[in-house]
Amino acid sequence: MTARALRAGLIGLGAMGRHHARALADIPGVDLVGIADPNAENGDAPAPVLRDTDSLLALGIDYAVIACPTRLHEPVALRLAAAGIPALIEKPVAATTADARRVTDAFTRATLPAAVGHIERFNPALLALHDLLATGRYGQLLQVTSRREAPAARPSDTGVLLDLAVHDLDNTAWITGQPYRGITACTASTAGTGTEDLAIITGELLNGALAAHAVNRLPPRRERTTTVLTERAGITADTAAATLTIVGSRTGRTIEVTGADALRSEHLAFCDLVLTGRHGRLATLQDATVALAHAERLGARRPTNGPDSVPVTPVCTISGEAQVEGEEVHPPEGGNVRRPALAEVRVKAALHDQPVRVTAAEADGSSWHAVVPVDCSVTTLDQPHPESARPAMPRNQVPAPAAAPA
């Protein structure tokens, strides 16, 4: 560190802002000189609370941490860039990809250090998983799955895609070194928040490995796991329990992973970036913009289709029981006789007349499965009121860690 302490400013003293304030107060060689938040009071704040960003800049700061509501990230970041102040921006980097690109352009033009707080990059369990995969000893990457269940203990102005899934989207690309080739999602809103609180994301990485992420903020418990399946092992990082479990073809073991507080490590890394220009494990503005772009496209319920991706048709699968007609059905122009039609399973695509595939899972046709586009509703005979459509819901099966072949 320099002989003079770095003067840090914090913008936003909400739930995450208070965590940042705690971390800043614990870092040697850093003085938290002020906090900008128009809705906060000095109270137990670890530094003077100011009304706005300009008042904070007037104190003379060396860098700032942006932890205000997501919709304000862009204007605050642009103000800091114009003032020549490096910034650590809480994730997501901005409310929209367009905002994120403006922020990236501003800091690039000003040649200023900046990074985004994808804190999971500093979680000891994920660090251990990242480093294990980097050795190459476990062979080809086949699949990455994750579960992130975080009870809504704080208000949020974003849905789970921007609030939670951006972690998994960034983690997967960072841990594996593979960008997404294609990605899609099914989402649902059940808590009356106006934003999605459940999401199932599936995709393919550039090397052909599969990815699946389940995120929600409804359950009373917290779960954060990432499982990587390779040719020789299944490796699960539990970031809540700080463990790493490795299951091979003959043996399995669980390792307790120890390490420094992730948020403190992130702040130390950012200080090093300000002083030396070394990014280390920090998420760059470009990294964070890619993760945000994926989440934003998923929120719009359309597949990503960028330069490094291919379209993936967004579909959901539903299933149920129904009677079927036993008569044979002949094609209009003659030809081969088809098997009994599922005529009584009246699955209806309600959007854009997109095709629906219906197949019988049993010989007698009593069990059926239908694959429908995500923005469709379906009507089936076995419903009490067939004329009232219900949303198609995803059937999600996140693969469990599997032992690799001998």
The domain spans of the chain are 6-120+263-285, 123-258+293-299, 315-394
Q: Give the residue-averaged pLDDT of 116-123.
A: 95
Span of 141-155, 194-208, 231-245 with lowest mean pLDDT: 141-155
pLDDT for the residue 156: 61
Res. 88: pLDDT tops 70: yes
Burial of 90 (0-12, 13-18, 19+ CB in 10 A): buried
Flag whether pLDDT at 195 surpasses 90.
no
Q: Any idea which residue has 């046709």 for tokens? A: 365
Question: Which ranges of 33-191 does DSSP label H, i.e. alpha helix?
Answer: 53-57, 73-83, 97-109, 124-135, 160, 166-176
Q: What is the pLDDT of residues 263-306, one digit of tens each?
A: 999 999 999 999 999 999 999 999 999 999 999 888 764 333 33
Cα 56 to Cα 58: distance, rounded to the nearest angstrom: 5
Q: How far apart are CA 272 and CA 20, in angstroms?
A: 17
Look at 162-166, 175-179, 351-355 and tell me which has the smallest mean pLDDT.
351-355
How high is the pLDDT of residue 191? 65
Would the CA dihedral through 40, 43, 47, 50 be positive or negative?
positive
Mean pLDDT of 339-356: 35
What is the distance between the alpha carbons of residues 70 and 66, in angstroms, rounded to a whole number? 9
Higher-scoring residue by pLDDT: 371, 387: 371
Largest separation between any pair of C-alpha atoms in the chain: 89
39-43, 101-105, 181-185: which is most confident: 101-105
Rg (CA), the chain: 25
Contacts of residue 253, defined as CB under 8 A and 6 or more positions apart, other chains included, come to: 245, 246
pLDDT in tens, 20-58: 999 999 899 999 999 999 987 777 788 999 999 999 999
Confidence at residue 367, expressed as pLDDT on a 0 to 100 scale: 46
Measured CA to CA in angstroms, residue 279 lies from 132, 274, 290, 356 at distances of 21, 9, 17, 48
* Mean pLDDT on 214-225: 86
**Looking at the predicted structure, is the pLDDT value of residue 308 above 70?**
no
Q: How confident is the model at residue 100 (pLDDT cuts 50, 70, 90)?
A: very high
pLDDT class of 248 with cuts at 50, 70, 90 = confident
pTM: 0.72
What letters, b where the CB count within 10 A reaches 16 and e where it falls short, cover 194-213? ebbbbbbbbbbbeeebebbb
**6-120+263-285 and 123-258+293-299 share one fold:** no
Evaluate whether 295 touches 92 at the Cβ level (below 8 Å).
yes
**pLDDT value at residue 196:** 86
391 upstream amide cis, omega within 30 of 0:
no
Residues 6+ apart with CB under 8 A from 396: 200, 212, 214
Judged by DSSP in three states, 303 sits in: coil
Is the CATH number of domain 6-120+263-285 3.75.10.10? no
**DSSP secondary structure string for all residues of 227-250:** EEEESS-EEEEETTTTEEEEE-SS
Residue in 215, 219, 225 with CA at minimum distance from that of residue 151: 219
Residue with the bigger pLDDT between 244 and 404: it is 244
Q: Tell me, what amino acid is at 157?
A: D
CB 93 within 8 A of CB 116: yes
Distance between the two ends of the chain, CA-based, in angstroms?
50
Q: For the chain, what percent of residues have pLDDT higher than 90?
A: 55
CATH domain 123-258+293-299 topology: Dihydrodipicolinate Reductase; domain 2 (3.30.360)
Asked whether the predicted pLDDT for residue 392 surpasses 50, the reply is: no
In DSSP notation, 196-213 reads --EEEEEEEETTS-EEEE
pLDDT band at residue 120 using 50, 70 and 90 as cut-offs:
very high
Is the CB of residue 89 less than 8 Å from the CB of residue 73? yes
% residues pLDDT > 70 (the chain):
70
Output DSSP code: residue 59.
Answer: T
How far apart (Å, rounded) are the C-alpha atoms in residues 256 and 232? 21
Does position 370 have pLDDT exceeding 50, yes or no?
no
Averaged pLDDT for residues 350-364: 41
